[in-house]
């Protein structure tokens, strides 16, 4: 009798390389890590720390997170930080430096450069634009507004820079032929 037809033989375990969406236990672990990022995106979240939260190896975590959520963990963290910074720019009078540090950036310069790379605007330009549109946006539910303003990080920030520069920036890795 084959293994798949014998009711006394337990099913084979899901392989470590299986898609995260096919393994509910792994998906719960990944959601736990994602929830931690959401709750404290101002903190440092290296893959090692997220893997510990999820209870899996670093490589397995990184692969599975990307399969489950469509973005690598670092890009997801950047998305959350930019969303929070945009909200603070729109809704508060905090200095841009204070917003940078409050959202987890260690350098104002890095914050400004990456913010511009992702949104197309400097933080101060974003503040002016967001406040100019404030009265129109007051009628839109916050969850819809947040989803509509979510930065698109399906490609790496460096790749975006290279495309904007017309491929004049060298890629960080070389592909072997």
Per-residue pLDDT of the chain (177 residues), as tens digits, is 444 444 454 444 444 444 556 789 999 999 999 999 999 999 999 999 999 999 999 999 999 999 999 999 999 999 999 999 999 999 999 999 999 999 999 999 999 999 999 999 999 999 999 888 776 666 677 677 666 666 666 665 556 666 667 765 555 554 444
Residues 81 and 41 in one domain: no
Torsion angle, alpha carbons of 128, 142, 117, 125, to 10: 0
Q: Is the pTM of this model over 0.95?
A: no
Residues 25 and 102 in one domain: no
Residue 35 DSSP SS3: helix
> Using CA atoms, how far apart are residues 52 and 61, in angstroms rounded to an integer?
9
Residues 118 and 155 in one domain: yes
- Give the H/E segment covering residue 149: helix 142-149
Per-residue pLDDT, 133: 77
Answer whether 81's CB lies under 8 Å from 104's CB: yes
The residue range of the domain holding 136 is 73-169
Residues 165 and 78 in one domain: yes
**First-last CA distance in the chain:** 48
Residues 37 and 123 in one domain: no
Angle at 54 between CA 26 and CA 43, to 5 degrees: 140
């Amino acid at each position: 009798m084959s293994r798949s037809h014998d009711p006394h033989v337990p099913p084979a375990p899901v392989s470590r390389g299986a898609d995260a969406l096919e393994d509910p236990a792994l998906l719960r672990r990944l959601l736990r890590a994602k929830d931690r990022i959401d709750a404290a995106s101002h903190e440092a979240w290296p893959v090692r720390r997220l893997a510990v939260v999820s209870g899996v190896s670093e490589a397995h975590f990184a692969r599975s997170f990307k399969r489950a959520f469509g973005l690598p963990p670092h890009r997801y963290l950047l998305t959350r930080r930019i969303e929070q910074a945009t909200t603070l720019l729109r809704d508060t009078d905090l200095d841009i430096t204070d917003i940078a540090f409050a959202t987890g950036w260690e350098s104002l310069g890095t914050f400004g450069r990456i913010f511009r790379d992702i949104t197309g605007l400097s933080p101060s330009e974003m503040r002016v634009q967001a406040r100019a549109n404030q009265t129109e946006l007051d009628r839109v539910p916050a969850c819809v507004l947040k989803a509509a303003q979510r930065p698109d990080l399906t490609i790496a920030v460096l790749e975006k820079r290279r495309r904007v520069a017309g491929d004049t920036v060298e890629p960080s890795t070389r592909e072997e032929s």
